[in-house]
Structure formats: C-alpha cells, structure tokens
Amino acid sequence: MSVHLGAVSYLNTKPLVYGLEDRPDLFTVRFDVPAQCAALLHEGKVDVGLIPAIEYVRGGYAIAPGVAIGSDGPVASVAVFSRVPVDRIATLALDASSRTSVALTRVLCATRWAIAPTFVTVEPDLEAMLSRADAALVIGDPALSIDADARGLLKIDLGTEWQALTGLPFVYAMWCGRPGVLSQVHVDALNAARDRGLAHLADIAREYGGGDAAAEAQAFSYLRDNLKHQLGEREAAGLRRFLELAVEVRVVDTTRPLTFY
C-alpha cells in the first residue's frame, strides 16, 4: 500500500526523505511548513506527517520508531533573535509557521528565563517581527540565513537552552500517523531513507547551496553538526520531558504516552 506522507519543506528534512521518490510503491510525498504538515494530518489529508512534536498530543497517533528531527545541543535553525537582553524581553513575536518551537519558547520563558512576555504571532519576516516586538522566534532555513551579529541582535539558540535546562536532546518533529497505517516494511523504508540521507549529506548540501560555496558549507556543517535524525531512548526521554513541561506551563492541556508502530 502506498502511504501519503506530509513532510517539511526545510533543509533539515532532506536527509529523512532521501530516495523516497524512488519508492512510489510505498510512498507519495508532499512538502509544507511544519504547521501545515500538522493541519493536513489532523484533517486526514495525509496518512503520515512529519509533524511538530507538540502536535502528537492532539491526536491518537503512533510514531515511526527510530526517525526524527532533533538536536543535542545547538540547533542553529531555531532561535530567538532579540534587541534586548533576555531578562528584558517584554514582547516576543512568534513564527506563524511553527508549533513545536513556539511551545518550546513558551516553556523556556516560564522555566528557564523567568519572563512572561506578551506574545504576538506573525509571518516569519524578521524586520517586521522586530518592529512589533523586542524579540522574534524564527525557525528553519530563514533562521540559518540571519547574521545576528551584523544586525546587532542577540541570538538565543533554543537547542542550547533546552539542553541547559534538561540535559536532554530535543525532538522537533517525527513521523506520526493513525495506528496501523504503517507496516514494518514502511517503517524499515523510512529508516533506510534516513540512513541514505546521512550518507549523502555532502550531496544534499551541494544541491541546497546551488553553486554558492558559502551556503553549501553552512548547510553541510548544519546537517552534520547541529541536527540529529535518530529517535532513540535519550531522544524519547527528551520528548516526554518536553510534553510534560508543556502541560505544566499550560501550552497544552494534557500529554500522552509515546506509542510506536
């Protein structure tokens, strides 16, 4: 059976979908921003989505084991860019294309930074965001392209902040769907795609750079050094802790046990 996958359109997803276009017997794939991936899964328009981790609690989903988008330290592509020191952030603009990173920002405000800013949700345009707020959450490829020093901004890496708070990796997204949708063959194929992608990071970075040597080098370093694409025991522990804290700070009403295919 061919399963309809909804994937994220950012660079961080490329290693997870590497070669899947060669398996039309198993998968068809569409690409959207993270929030849209979640909406499509909730609406039943895709069978399995690479959804923001916080969205796991909003449906009775199962998780494809072994595969995720995560970090174990600095992530580089999920950050708050601020015009003021962290303890002086009174207004914070949130990227409308994000859900998990928005939830993580709210968790960190309450538990690590001890601030309670007013949040505004806007499209991910840094200048527009900072015209309305002291700081802005930006994720994905747009965050990678921002030179904070050149703009006179403080860059607060959320992967670094999460690890400082918990000592655990952070999981931003994972493949989720209704129980029974994925067979073991599908799960094995998703893990194999991840392995192929990790073996071809230089090729992925080269394609992303499009002939720009600096962009290619940045992409390769990001894929190799900042991102983790496994979902093992430590990652699962980090995911559970995140969902627990999200309940504690009232980002979501309840959590649920991690269920795997």
What domains can you pick out in the chain, each with its CATH number? 3-69+170-237 (3.40.190.10), 78-166 (3.40.190.10)
Does the pLDDT of residue 46 top 90, yes or no?
A: yes
Q: What are phi and psi of 97, to 5 degrees?
A: -85, 0
Amino acid 171: pLDDT: 98
Amino acid 155: pLDDT: 98
Does the pLDDT of residue 67 top 90, yes or no?
A: yes
167-210: pLDDT as tens digits: 999 999 999 999 999 999 999 999 999 999 999 999 999 999 99
78-132: pLDDT as tens digits: 999 999 999 999 999 998 878 899 999 999 999 999 999 999 998 889 999 999 9
pTM of the entire predicted model = 0.94
Does the pLDDT of residue 228 top 90, yes or no?
A: yes
What's the chain's average pLDDT?
95
pLDDT band of 7, cuts 50, 70, 90:
very high
Amino acid 87: pLDDT: 97
Amino acid 9: pLDDT: 85
Amino acid 33: pLDDT: 84
SS3 readout for the chain: CCEEEEEECCHHHHHHCCCHHHCCCCEEEEEECHHHHHHHHHCCCCCEEEEEHHHHHHCCCEECCEEEEEECCCCCCEEEEECCCHHHCCEEEEECCCCHHHHHHHHHHHHCCCCCCEEEEECCCHHHHHHHCCEEEEEHHHHHCCCHHHHCCEEEEHHHHHHHHHCCCEEEEEEEECCCCCCHHHHHHHHHHHHHHHHCHHHHHHHHHCCCHHHHHHHHHHHHHHCEEEECHHHHHHHHHHHHHHHHCCCCCCCCCCCEC
Amino acid 98: pLDDT: 82
